Amino acid sequence: MKQIEGVMYQANAPKGVDPDGIFFVQVDPAKCEACGSCDEVCATGAIQAINDDGIHAVVDPAACMNCGQCLVNCPYGAIYEGVSYVDEIFEKLKDPDTIVVSMPAPAVRYGLGECFGAPTGTYVGGKMHAALRKLGFDYIWDNEFTADVTIMEEGTELIQRVKEQGKKNARPLPQFTSCCPGWVKFAETFYPDLMPNLSSCKSPIGMLGPLAKTYGAHETHTKAKKIYTVSIMPCIAKKYEGLRPELADSGFRDIDATINTRELAHMIKTAGISFNSLPSQQPDPALGDSTGAATIFGNSGGVMEAALRLAYEVLSGKKLDNPDIKVVRTHEGINTADVKVPGFGTVKVAVASGLSNAAKLCDEVRAGKSPYHFIEIMSCPGGCVNGGGQPLDPEIRASLFRSTVAQINKRFRARKVTA
Amino acid sequence: MKMNRRGFMKTCGIMAGYAVLGVNLTKEAVASAMDFVGMRQKSVYDADANSKIYKYRKSQDNPMIKKIYDHKNGFLHEGPCGHMSHHLLHTHYVDRSARLATLKDKGFKFNL
C-alpha cells in the first residue's frame, strides 16, 4: 500500500484478468468509523455494514460500479483503491524500446492543479501537457480529441436511430450515452434488457486506445506493438473499463494502463517536476487537438450539449450561432429539455447526474413511458469533474475534524479571556 | 421504524454535529460538497467559452476531425458509423445480471 494524495492504493497492475473479480475500491476495516457516509452515496448498496459494529465493506465486486463516490465522501480516509499502474508506468517511461502515449480525459485538467495548491477547478490543461512531456511520454495525445470523435459517431448514430423508427429491425429510442464506465456496468448489471438502447459507441478513451495503435502508429511511423497507452482519468471505473476483454480491436490491448488525476499528481511530484512553473504547452496535433465541445464532457450535461451542437447543424442544415445550450447543463438530479431544431421538430432530451437518478429514467424506459430521444447519464453527481479519481474535497475531512477542533479551541480561548 | 445500532450511531453523530457546530455550520458543511463541484463545473464552461483555450466550440469544426473523416484520404473516410468506425470505435455489451442474482440468492440485499 502507498499513500497518494490522501488516498491509499494497492500497487496492483492486473493483466489479462477478468475485471469482474477485482475490488477496485475497498474499505480498510481498521480505519472505518461506521459513520455510514459511504452507503448514503452508493446507488447500488454494494457498500454496506458487515458486522454489528457497523464496519463497512464492498461486499462483492459484481454489485460495485467502481464509481468511487464512497471513497471521495469518506471523512476518515478509510477507503482505498485496489489497482494502481503507477510503478509499471515509471518502468515503461524508462524503457527506450517502449513508446509511451498519454491520454488524459477532459476533467483531469480541472482537478490536477488542486494537488499543487491552485484554487478549486483551476484550468491547468497547458501545464498538464508540459508535465506529461517532462515525465517522458513520447506522444502527448489527448482524450479530448476522441471526445470530438465520439460526438461525430454518437451523434450520427442518434440521427440514424431517429430516422429508422417504424422500419424493420429499428434500434430503439431513447438512445443512452455510453461514455461513463460506471453507468455502462450499471446498465449491464441492473438493466440488461435496456442494452439495445445503449449507444454502441465506445467511450472516448475506448476510441483513443485503438486509434493510437492504428491511426496514431501510422501517422508517427511507429510500430504499433511498441506503443504503450496510458489512460489518465478522473475516475476509478475507467480502470475496470480498460481491462474489458473486448477492448482489443487494434490487434493489441487497446488500453495498457489506467491511472487517475491523483496518481498523475503523484507521478509529477515523484519525478521532482515543479508543476506551477511549467509553461503552457499544446498536445501533439494528430490525436491531440480538441474543441470546447470536447472539454465539456467533464460536466454532467456536457456530452448532451456537445451532441446537440452537432445534431442541430446536421438536422437543420443551418449554422448554430450560439453554441451555449444551457438548458441541459446539470449540477445534480435529473434535467429534461425540449430542443427545437428548425426543419426537423423537437428533440426531447434528459440528463441524469448520479446512478439513483439514472435508475428513475431507466424504469421509465423499461415501462415504455419514456418520451425522450436521447438520455445522458453520469454516475458521479455533477459529472467527471466530481469523479472518484479526482483530488479530494478538503472540506469533507476538514468539516468533520478541523471545524470541530476550531470550535472547541475558540470556546476554550473565549473562556480564558473572560476569566 | 425499528432503530438499529448503526442508525442510532448515525443519529447521535448528526445530533452531536448540530450540538458542537450549530445549525448553520452543519448545513454549510453539507452544502459545500456541491459548491466544490460547482466551482469545477464553472471552470469547464469558462474554458469552453474562452477562444484562447479552445479556438473551436463544435466537434465538427475541429480541423483534425475534418482530417480523419476526410472523404478522400481520411483514416475514417467512410464517415462516422462506417466500416472502420464499427471495427475500432463501436462495441457490444455483456449481460452481467446473473452474478447479481447469485448474490441475491445468497441473501445479500441491494438497493435495486
User: Looking at residue A398, what is its pLDDT?
Assistant: 72
Distance, CA of A390 to CA of A261 (rounded, Å): 5
Tell me how far apart the alpha carbons of residues A249 and A252 are, in angstroms, rounded to a whole number: 7
Determine the Cα–Cα distance for residues A55 and A345; give it in Å rounded to an integer.
54
B12 Cα to chain A: minimum distance (Å): 10
Whether B43 has its CB under 8 Å from any CB of chain A: the answer is yes
Q: Where are the alpha helices (DSSP H) in A165-201?
A: 181-190
Active-site position among A180, A201, A362, A384: A384
DSSP run (H or E) holding A140: strand A139-140
- For residue A251, the SS3 value is coil
- Could you say which residues from 10 to 29 on chain B have a Cβ atom under 8 Å away from some Cβ of chain A? 10, 13, 20-21, 25, 29
CA distance A248 to chain B (A): 9
CA distance A291 to A32: 43
Angle at B11 between CA B7 and CA B12, to 5 degrees: 115
Backbone angle region of B22, left / alpha / beta, with phi > 0 → left and psi within -120 to 50 → alpha: left
Q: Residue A307: count other Cβ atoms within 10 Å of its Cβ.
A: 28
- Per the rule left: phi > 0, alpha: psi between -120 and 50, beta: everything else, A138 is alpha
Measure CA A133 to chain center.
23
Crossing angle of helices A143-164 and A204-211, rounded to 10°? 110
Q: Does B53 contact A at CB distance below 8 Å? A: yes
Nearest-CA distance from A212 to chain B in Å? 11
Does residue A79 contact residue A36 with C-beta atoms inside 8 Å? no
Question: Can you tell me which residue has the cell 491511472?
Answer: A259
**Full 3-state SS string of chain A:** CEEECCEEECCCCCCCCCHHHCCCEEECCCCCCCCCHHHHHCCCCCEEECCCCCCEEECCHHHCCCCCHHHHHCCCCCEEECCCCHHHHHHHHHCCCCEEEEEECHHHHHCHHHHHCCCCCCCCHHHHHHHHHHHCCCEECCHHHHHHHHHHHHHHHHHHHHHHCCCCCCCCCCEECCCCHHHHHHHHHHCHHHHHHECCECCHHHHHHHHHHHHHHHHCCCCHHHEEEEEEECCCHHHHHHCCCCCCCCCCCCCCEEEEHHHHHHHHHHCCCCHHHCCCCCCCHHHCCCCHHHHHHHCCCHHHHHHHHHHHHHHHCCCCCCCCCHHHCCCCEEEEEEEEECCCEEEEEEEEECHHHHHHHHHHHHCCCCCCCEEEEECCCCCHHHCCCCCCCHHHHHHHCHHHHHHHHHHHHHHHHHC
Q: Is A332 a catalytic residue?
A: no
β-sheet bridge partners, residue A47 = A58
Enumerate the H helices of A282-323 as residue ranges. 292-295, 302-316
Q: What is the pLDDT along chain A (419 residues), one digit of tens a residue?
A: 999 999 999 999 999 899 999 999 999 999 998 989 999 999 999 999 999 999 999 999 999 999 999 999 999 999 999 999 999 999 999 999 999 999 999 999 999 999 999 999 999 999 999 999 999 999 999 999 999 999 999 999 999 999 999 999 999 999 999 999 999 999 999 999 999 999 999 999 999 999 999 999 999 999 999 999 999 999 999 999 999 999 999 999 999 999 999 999 999 999 999 999 999 999 999 999 999 999 999 999 999 999 999 999 999 999 999 999 999 999 999 999 999 999 889 999 999 999 999 999 999 999 999 999 999 999 999 999 999 999 999 888 776 666 566 656 666 665 555 44
pLDDT at A109: 98
- Using a CB–CB cutoff of 8 Å, tell me whether A333 touches chain B: no
Q: Read off the amino acid at residue A119.
A: P
Q: Who contacts A58 (Cβ-Cβ below 8 Å, separation ≥6)? A: A23, A25, A26, A27, A46, A47, A64, A70
d(CA A241, CA A388): 14
Is A81 in contact with A25 (CB distance < 8 Å)?
A: yes
- Let me know if A404 is exposed, middle or buried by CB neighbors in 10 A (0-12, 13-18, 19+): middle
Strand-pair partners of B90: A201
**What is the residue extent of each domain of chain B?**
1-54, 56-111
Measure CB to CB from residue B89 to each of A36, A52, A153 and give the nearest one. A153
Q: Provide the pLDDT for residue B22.
A: 59
Please tell me which residue of chain B has the smallest CA distance to A251.
B88
- What are the chain A neighbours of B93 within 8 Å (beta carbons)? 184, 187-188, 195, 198
Per the CB < 8 A criterion, the answer to whether A238 and A231 are in contact is yes
Give residue A159's Cα distance to chain centre: 26
Q: Are A296 and A305 in contact (CB under 8 A)?
A: yes
Q: Does B61 touch chain A (CB under 8 A)?
A: yes
And the C-alpha cell for A98?
517502449
* The one-letter amino acid at A293: A
* Stated pTM of the model: 0.91
- Cross-strand bridge partners of residue A227: A99
Question: If DSSP codes are grouped into helix, strand and coil, which group holds residue A376?
Answer: strand
Ranges assigned E (strand) in A59-126: 79-81, 99-104
Any idea what DSSP says for residue A112? G
Sequence-distant (6+) residues with CB within 8 A of B102 are: A62
Are the C-beta atoms of residues B12 and A34 closer than 8 Å to each other? Answer: no
Average pLDDT of span B62-83: 97
- Could you tell me which residues come within 8 angstroms of residue A227 by beta carbon, excluding any fewer than 6 positions away? A98, A99, A101, A212, A213, A216, A217, A252
pLDDT at residue A343, rounded to an integer = 87
